[in-house]
Amino acid sequence: MTVREILKMGDPRLLRIAKPVSVFNTRELQSLIADMFDTMHAAEGAGLAAPQIGIDLALVIFGVRQNPRYPDADAVPETVLINPTLTPLDAAEEDGWEGCLSVPGLRGMVPRWARIRYTGFDQYGAPIDREVDGFHARVVQHECDHLVGTLYPMRVRDFRQFGYTSVLFPDLGADD
Ligand code: NI
């Protein structure tokens, strides 16, 4: 188990279309996922996508109990999601503040589908099929964007609502 280096925006590896995972429940996959959880927890992140540590696979993890970086966020179950597919349940969008471990120190207001269905597989190859809303839906959309080379600043519509976390949220006590 190892905390891996998180790539920062500007690294071309963050812009790739990730390859699907074809073999599940291998020692290599379990080891990668363990490293991803170590890395996410060390950075107090709500989620992490494999491309963020330079791994070109369609694999994301996420989960929030109570996260100091997102004090108002609902709890999200700790999840390993592989080869995901997302579908909006209706046309409703919601704006919300996002940050990203690959874009340290900044936050931006990002529109997302309010309600989505997501499907995929866990690390054992068991199917996942959930309908979610709120922060859970936002985290999944953010992480899955990393699998198609999209970072949240690319989705910011109003750059007056984009800036340094320490300026926007001085009470958070966080610098990223
Ligand atoms: Ni991110």
Residue 155 phi/psi, 5° resolution?
Answer: -105, -5
Residue 81 confidence (pLDDT) above 90:
yes
From 5, 44, 94, 143, active-site residue: 143
d(CA 1, CA 150): 28
pLDDT of the residue at 67? 64
**Residue at 5 is within a domain:** no
* pLDDT-wise least confident of 29-38, 92-101, 150-159, 165-174: 165-174
**Residue at 78 is within a domain:** yes
pLDDT of the residue at 70? 67
Mean per-residue pLDDT for 134-140? 97
Mean per-residue pLDDT for 130-134? 97
d(CA 18, CA 131): 24
Residue 176 confidence (pLDDT) above 70:
no
**Residue at 155 is within a domain:** yes
pLDDT of the residue at 74? 79
Nearest Cα to 92, choosing from 108, 58, 115? Answer: 115
**Residue at 47 is within a domain:** yes
Mean per-residue pLDDT for 125-154? 98
Domain tally for the chain?
Answer: 1
Mean per-residue pLDDT for 109-124? 98
**Residue at 7 is within a domain:** no
Report helix, strand or coil for 28: helix
**Residue at 176 is within a domain:** no
In which domain, by residue range, is 57 found? 12-171
In the chain, pLDDT over 90 holds for what percent of residues?
Answer: 89
- DSSP 8-class letter at 173: -
121, 83 Cβ separation under 8 angstroms: yes
> Residue 79's domain is classified under what CATH number?
3.90.45.10
- Per-residue pLDDT reduced to its tens digit, 45-65: 999 999 999 999 999 999 998
Q: Residue 172 C-alpha to ligand 1 middle, in angstroms? A: 19
Tell me the pLDDT of the chain averaged across its residues.
95
d(CA 28, CA 113): 34
Active site residue 98: no
**Residue at 16 is within a domain:** yes
Q: Residue 122 C-alpha to ligand 1 middle, in angstroms? A: 20
**Residue at 54 is within a domain:** yes
